[in-house]
Amino acid sequence: MWFRNLQIFRISDWTLSTERLNELLQKQAFREPSAMELHTTGWSSPREGGELAHVVNRQILLALRTEKKLLPASVINQVTRAKAADLEEQQGFKPGRKQMKELKEQVTDELLPRAFGIRRDTRVWIDPVNRWLVIDAASPTKADEVRSLLLKTLDITLENIELNEAPVAVMTSWLAGNEAPGGFTVDQDVELRSNTDEKAAVRYVRHPLDGVDVRQHIQSGKRTTRLAMTWNDRISFVLTDAFAIKRVTPLDIIKDAADPTAEGEAEKFDADVALMTGELAKLLDDLIEAVGGEREEA
């Protein structure tokens, strides 16, 4: 249930009712690709059998579903070559460029209905109370795909997080001083990169970061681009220089806080959503403050 990666944005003031939100999402709801389509995208229910917008304590969960058919170019080319050989035997000469193009299109049309489809859901958390919009995506490219459909579906404004201090500078200062801000601890994974043209990089995994070698890398000009941290002994994560949060892992103290009275899949799902969104909202607030706060508009 927990989001593994957080691509973080701000949203405009939220005025949509749940009913209106579901109406708008339905217009862009997911449908299976037709026999001749390679790819479809649309909104799906975050919980099996539920609404497109799942709301718990004013926190909103969405899911963008994508289905892509697997039709490798190597397979198309192999079948095309075989058909081209048959055609050459029939007409007595090799197919020209135009014939080969038409043949390839014909092969693609023949194979497409038999192609195997793979589905993938990307979850979205909207917090109208604190104006967060968080996409569970490892890459900005995938997040942009979700943002694009979200803006097409809803009349809202999304803004990137603008910070007073660059995360790379703040993380480097924490590492150099061997001291994280209150509530946070530095763990044992880090990536350091040079800001020179060579872009030299060094990574430490499950390695103490308070040694002389780490400080020497910083003194030589390398800066921290990824840093593993823990917040209040509750959530571990990796912070990146783009202020994305990766490898989010709830720790035992949170797992023990799960509602023991929840019965059935629906109640347990809602309890997990409430727990996750409540904890992540506090984490985001503390992390924003730790890196120097958001830049105020002039």
pLDDT of 32 reads 83
Most confident of 85-89, 216-220, 259-263: 216-220
Question: What local confidence, expressed as pLDDT, does residue 228 receive?
Answer: 95
Rounded to 5°, angle at Cα 116 from 111 and 122: 135
> For 124-148, what is the mean pLDDT?
95
Which helix (H) or strand (E) segment is 228 a member of? strand 222-231
Residues written for the chain: 298
Q: pLDDT confidence of 65, banded at 50, 70, 90?
A: very high
pLDDT > 70 in the chain, percent: 96
Binning pLDDT at 50, 70 and 90, where does residue 234 land? Answer: very high
Name the burial class of residue 263, with classes exposed (0-12), middle (13-18) and buried (19+) by CB atoms within 10 angstroms of its CB: exposed
3-state secondary structure of 176: helix
Q: pLDDT averaged over the chain?
A: 89
**Tell me: the pLDDT tens digits for 245-269?**
999 999 988 877 776 676 778 888 9
Q: How many CB atoms lie within 10 A of CB 101?
A: 12
CB 258 within 8 A of CB 252: no
Nearest one of 79, 121, 119 to 100, comparing CA atoms: 79
Encoded amino acid at 12, one letter: S
**44, pLDDT greater than 60:** yes
At 298, the pLDDT band (50, 70, 90 cuts) reads low
pLDDT band at 38 (very low <50, low <70, confident <90, very high): confident
Q: What is the largest CA-CA distance in the chain?
A: 80
Provide the residue type at 277 as one letter.
T
At residue 153, the pLDDT reads 96
In this predicted model, what pLDDT tens digit does every residue of 54-63 receive, in sequence order?
999 999 999 9
pTM, 2 dp: 0.83
3-state SS assignment for residue 62: strand
Q: How confident is the model at residue 121 (pLDDT cuts 50, 70, 90)?
A: very high
